[in-house]
Amino acid sequence: MATVATQDGPRRRVWLRWVLVAVPVAFLVPVGLLAWDGYALVSSVDELQASATDAQVALSERDAEGLSTAVSALNSSADHFAAHTEGWHWSLAAHIPWVRDQTVPLQQAGSSVRAVSSGALQPLAQAGNLTALEAPPMENGRVDPYFLADFEQPLSQASAVLASESQALRTVDLSGTVPAIQDPFGGLEADISHLADVVRSADIAARLLPSMLGGEGQRTYAVMVQNNAEPRTSGGIPGAVIELTVEDGRFHLGEYMSAGALNTGTVAADLTADEQRIFTDKMATYVQDVNFTPEFPRAAQVMRSFWQRGTGADVDGVVSIDPVAMGYLLNGMEPIEIDGVTVTSENLAQVLLSDVYWKYDDPAQSDAFFALAATELFAQLVDGGTDVVGGVETAVAHRRLAVWSADPREQELLSQTSLAGEFVTDGAAAGVFLNDASGSKIGYYVDQQVKVWPARCVDGRVGARDVEVTLTHTYDGQVADLPWYVSGGGVHVPEGQFVSNVLFYAPTGAVVTGVKVNDEPALYSADTHQGRSLARIRADLSPGDSTTFVFSTEQQAVPEGNAGLVWTPLARDIAVDREEISRAFDNSTC
């Protein structure tokens, strides 16, 4: 027994030495391999970014040949990058606390870049040209309903891949990731998300254009022209409604009606309980109030009911546009004379929202001018000499152009785009809106500024944000000199006074916790609209006044969709860094 014990002792000591050596080696080997991969990733990231930038430039310039070259380089760079985010040591690292917070984002980035390059960009490059990513051009007064027919398959494939990878990147938890990885990962996520939006819009357009442009039979739309001089949530009152027909891509103007002509003083449509409580039955009693709600599809449905009742005819959809957007669409047109007034794309909004009221004392005369202007401007639009494509893109981006279809299938597709004008039912954006109560056109002189203060940690990763809105009454003349229907004539409020209901919607999953007016806590009316937390407060400005509202919110749940801020587009665009706003809403770091 003693001999056996003596023999076992050295064996145990040998095995112990092997264990002492093997454990650190087993630990150091994957660490060493990860370190080597990390070095390789650092050395290849510049090449990957350069290839990705070239691809982005080619896409923005609609350069198919350049995209093909960039995709080839990007495929190679992506394969090299992804190859250094794979292997047993990466799988092992995914189970180690803190380490996985660094490796998982890198692995997903490598996988997503490779998938986007080969599964989305390459099919687009092979399509031969990238006109599919543009709005269809108007030629000889016609838009080809089948402009995108040849691109349906590559667009569908690219859209599906981009949507999948955008979602995969968005769901990666970066709370424990170091900034050196987190920052470029966020940039990659933003780039792919933007690209996904562009391609998805083109994919949806390929499916919608044939029917909505009358390729499958004539379509009729009611076009509500919003007058920003009397603000409503989506811009201004629908001062006029115009019948528009389109068949095989050719547009024709039909009946022009002032909004008042459709009013009978009785309710034209049923409202939801929320709408009735928040906006009262005025939303369905007066055409000018259909867009009390910031949810354009609902405003369009009510407008359709007014049109049906007033004309005895139905429409296939509703389009909303304002004079500022019309200026975008008519960019490049030659100056024209309308009843002695020189109109250009640059002064169009000023003419229709202000100058016409100084020219005519009688509202009936201004209505006649609007009807004449509609005909003249439409002729310029279909002539093909203006930047309609660029104008549409700008108008949609500024929420000055919206479309609703009565066809449920078409509307479901539209709802996936900014053109739908959805807000209440859509995602994470906050919103601040104006509903004028002055009964005048003094809103033309009101400007606004908006800011978003980034998240403040209040409970773990629950963020609180402040949205600041400043309204300024810019009229600096004598109120007595204003045309009576611009000043309001003192009927509802003192002459020249701008009075409005201000509506603030918190982002999805957040609640309004307080309102300040000019740095002082203020009373406000709290409500909910389809589950969205809502605050209502009154703005009351005399000429020269400026009032600042600060709305405070606390995020109680992680929102879905694109963060940001939406506001009422007034007579003049405001200079706002939308990217800064988006970052402020995305910031949930404690």
For residue 578, the domain's CATH number is: 2.60.40
Using alpha carbons only, give the angle 286, 289, 290 rounded to the nearest 5 degrees.
95
Strand order of the β-sheet with 546-555 is 446-459, 462-473, 546-555, 510-517, 520-521
Any domain includes 14: no
Other beta carbons within 10 angstroms of residue 69's beta carbon come to 16
Any domain includes 8: no
Q: Are 261 and 147 in the same domain?
A: no
Query: What are residue 439's phi and psi, to 5 degrees?
Result: 65, 35
Boundary of a domain, candidates 184, 212, 240: 212
Q: Are 198 and 229 in the same domain?
A: no
Any domain includes 192: yes
Instruction: Please tell me the predicted confidence (pLDDT) of residue 137.
Output: 80
Instruction: Please tell me the predicted confidence (pLDDT) of residue 23.
Output: 41
Instruction: Please tell me the predicted confidence (pLDDT) of residue 71.
Output: 81
- Two structure tokens written together for 369: 């001018």
Q: Are 247 and 304 in the same domain?
A: yes
Total domains in the chain come to 3
Q: pLDDT truncated to tens, each residue of the chain (590 aa)?
A: 444 444 555 544 433 333 443 344 444 445 555 565 665 565 566 777 677 778 778 777 777 788 788 888 888 887 877 777 777 667 777 778 888 888 888 888 888 988 998 898 888 888 777 777 777 788 888 999 999 988 899 999 999 999 999 999 999 998 888 888 888 888 788 888 878 888 898 899 999 999 999 999 999 999 999 999 999 999 999 999 999 999 999 999 999 999 889 999 999 999 999 999 999 999 999 999 999 999 999 999 999 999 999 999 999 999 999 999 999 999 999 999 999 999 999 999 999 999 999 999 888 899 999 999 999 999 999 887 888 888 998 999 899 999 999 999 999 999 999 999 999 988 678 999 999 999 999 999 999 999 988 776 654 445 778 999 999 999 999 999 999 989 999 999 999 999 999 999 998 889 999 999 999 999 999 999 999 999 999 999 999 999 999 999 988 876 666 678 999 999 998 877 676 777 777 665 44
Q: Are 494 and 434 in the same domain?
A: yes
Q: Are 400 and 455 in the same domain?
A: no
Q: Are 149 and 73 in the same domain?
A: yes
Q: What is the 3-state secondary structure (H, E, C) of 255-300?
A: EEEEHHHHCCCCCCCCCCHHHHHHHCHHHHCCHHHHHHCCCHHHHH
Q: What residue has token string 């959805």? A: 422
Element (H, E) at 405: strand 401-405
Could you tell me the CATH number of the domain that includes residue 259?
A: 3.40.630
Instruction: Please tell me the predicted confidence (pLDDT) of residue 26.
Output: 42
Chain centroid to CA 223: 21
Q: Which domain holds residue 307?
A: 219-405
Read off the pTM.
0.86
Q: Are 246 and 165 in the same domain?
A: no
Q: Are 582 and 497 in the same domain?
A: yes
Please give the torsion angle defined by the CA atoms of residues 329, 332, 335 and 336, in that order, rounded to the nearest 10 degrees: -40
Boundary of a domain, candidates 405, 438, 468: 405
Q: Are 31 and 136 in the same domain?
A: yes
Boundary of a domain, candidates 212, 230, 257: 212
Any domain includes 412: no
Any domain includes 281: yes
Q: Are 450 and 326 in the same domain?
A: no
Any domain includes 421: no
Q: Are 224 and 164 in the same domain?
A: no
Q: Are 350 and 246 in the same domain?
A: yes
Please give the torsion angle defined by the CA atoms of residues 451, 457, 461 and 463, in that order, rounded to the nearest 10 degrees: -30
Any domain includes 419: no
Any domain includes 153: yes
Instruction: State the Cα–Cα distance between residues 43 and 513, nearest whole angstrom.
Output: 48
Q: Are strands 446-459 and 510-517 parallel, antiparallel or unpaired?
A: unpaired
